[in-house]
Amino acid sequence: MSSFLRNLSPSHQVGLLFVMVFGLLIAASIAALVMSLRDDGDKEERTEDIRELSSLLNTSWIMCTVFWVGWALGDTVATLLFALVAFFALREFITLSPTRHGDHRSLLLAFFVVLPAQFWLVITERFDLVTVFIPVYVFLAIPVVSALANDPQRFLERNAKLQWGIMVCVYGMSHVPALLLLDFPDYSGKNAFLVFFLVFVVQTGMLVQHLAARRWPKPPTAPQVSQTFHWSSWLIGLAVGGFVGGLMSGLTPFKPAQAVAMALIACVAGSLGHLVMKALKRDRGITNWGNEGKSVTGASGLLDRVDALCFAAPVFFHSVRWYFDL
Amino acid sequence: MLARLMGLFLLGLIRALTGAQARWQGCPPKAEQRIYFANHQSHADLILIWAALPSELRSITRPIAAKDYWTKTPFKQWITTAVFNAIYVDRAKTGDQDPLEPLIDALQNGDSVILFPEGTRGNQEEPQAFKSGLYNLATRFPQVVLVPAWINNVQRVMPKGEVVPVPILCSVTFGAPIALGEGEDRSGFLLRARHAVMSLRDT
């Protein structure tokens, strides 16, 4: 079995992976459908669970399709797709941060200059610039444009919010396609596995953490921010994420121990980033960016789904590049 | 043909930038003769509410455009006539001509209209006092359904004096229809209408 897999060409291996993932998704969707058809009284909590599950499944379908289209059409198209996701995520973020007239030019800069420039740097594989362009150069450029707008009211707060939005949505998201373009020795054509590895371990860690918090409810560590976050369920999620990462080491250029370490790094960054985003949402007085289509803003909640990835990707990318000296 | 393409292009652009989400809270989208009245904060209001309507209603609903602004250049004029099928209203009263006349014509033809009863764009949180046009139309056409609407966030997309829009999500909330009461006076009705629009802000 394993020698059969090894003898397949890289693109066949990746194709097989997609067949498996879509097969799993189909099975899960059918299971969810059967569950929703089964009638066992009208328990409020149960229908809530099923709705949450089906929304999670919908996002998984969309994300997997995006990955698949990206892989099938090549790295450049994949990068452009991620740029589009970053655009929509930043749009949601900015919608819920109050801006003033004086921010208009800075916002234009963020959406129409910084975002395309960052993803162009990714496509052209200027990785040194990819990692410093936003934290160093944009960090200065945005407040300069704001200052020229001649509006000092809440200046620091407004600029900090904008810089934060760019860091999370553009900088974080751009590191996912950057993984596709990293040049590992003896690993060409298989970089899609690296993205899959990252997404899968982070999502597994988050899911296990969520389930563990449900199964063994404990008083939350930071109840003002998150009703479910607790160090013990967090550790369980982390352990499972790391373990799954170790199991998947065959797919990656890492040895098993390295894979576990990389998975742990990604899980820590992702789950804690998710917690930080929760605090941000609480500050804005909302429970999630989308609010199930009920909010006045009409946001669809894309940012809820990708925030963990946005925090995990840059850290993961940097660790991989630094450790393997690429 | 060109107008159709331009319409499609504008729709795509507006959806990408603002989402242009319609939230039908007080009434369903329905092909009956209606007067939609909304708050007015930006010239883009007209385009946003046009984009938020379903395409079946878009063809029978005519927005109102301020003549002095929207006929300034041939391009603006072409867009408002060919794409939006707008009705021009003269904001500067000239002589004894009734500024509502083009609106009355459209309503007599059976079209629905989109009205901004404040008259001019406001830049405050709350809409300004409504002008009497809405009341006059309501008395004249009692069979037409009056639907309040709240346009959210547009002033952030394109503040006064800027030309390039910023991507920020916007929505249009349509509320429950109101009707002119038996013997209701003008100021009472206008206050009630303004209140109906404002009450949609936080739902």
Q: Which tens digits make up the pLDDT trace of A280-298?
A: 888 877 766 654 444 444 4
Name residues 91-150 of chain A within 8 A of B (Cβ): 91-92, 94-95, 99, 101, 104, 107-108, 111-112
Q: Is residue B203 part of a domain?
A: no
| CB nearest to B166's CB, from A92, A108, A300 | A108
Number of domains in chain B: 1
CB within 8 A of B201, min separation 6: which ones?
Answer: A296, B150, B152, B173
Q: Is residue B82 domain-resident?
A: yes
Report the C-alpha gap between B72 and B127 in whole angstroms.
26
Write out pLDDT tens, residues B60-117.
899 888 888 888 889 888 888 888 888 888 776 666 667 788 888 888 888 999 988 8
Domain limits, chain A: 1-73, 74-323
Q: What is the interface size between A and B, counted as CB pairs within 8 Å?
A: 48
Q: What is the DSSP letter of A189?
A: T
B179 in a structural domain: yes
Structural domain boundaries enclosing B83: 2-198
Beta strands at B171-174 and B87-89: parallel, antiparallel or unpaired: unpaired
Alpha helix positions (H), A112-219: 115-123, 127-132, 139-148, 155-165, 173-181, 191-215
Indicate if the pLDDT at residue A167 is higher than 90: yes
- Residue B98 falls inside a structural domain: yes
Q: Verify whether the Cβ–Cβ distance A104 to B162 is below 8 Å.
A: yes
CB B174 within 8 A of CB B65: no
Residues of chain B neighbouring A170 (CB-CB closer than 8 A): none
Contact criterion met (CB < 8 Å) for B170 and A298: yes
Cβ contact A108–B164 (<8 Å): yes
Q: What φ, ψ does residue B21 adopt, rounded to 5°?
A: -85, 135
The CATH number linked to B105 is: 3.40.1130.10
What DSSP element (H or E) covers B174? strand B171-174
Contact status of B198 with chain A (Cβ, < 8 Å): no
Best mutation site among A297, A300, A302, A303 for testing chain B: the one with the most B CBs within 10 Å? A297
Work out the minimum CA distance from A110 to partner chain B, whole angstroms: 10
What is the DSSP secondary structure assignment for residue A124, as one 8-state letter?
Answer: T
Taking contacts as CB-CB distances below 8 angstroms, the residues of chain B near A104 are: 159, 162, 166
What was the pLDDT predicted at B94? 64
* CB-based contact, A151 to chain B, within 8 Å: no
Q: Is A299 on the interface with B (CB under 8 A)?
A: yes
Helices A75-95/A173-181 angle, 10° precision = 170
- Residue-wise pLDDT for A101-148, tens only, equals 888 899 999 999 999 999 999 999 999 999 999 999 999 999 999 999
Which pLDDT tens digits describe chain B residue by residue (203 residues)?
888 899 899 889 988 888 888 888 888 888 889 999 998 888 888 888 889 998 888 888 998 888 888 888 898 888 888 888 888 887 766 666 677 888 888 888 889 999 888 877 776 777 888 888 888 889 889 899 999 999 888 888 888 778 888 898 888 889 999 988 888 888 899 999 999 998 888 76
**B21, B23, B169 ranked by CB distance to A92: nearest:** B169
Q: Which residues does chain B have within 8 Å of residue A111's beta carbon, measured at their own beta carbons? A: 166-167
Q: Which residues pair with B147 in a beta bridge?
A: B36
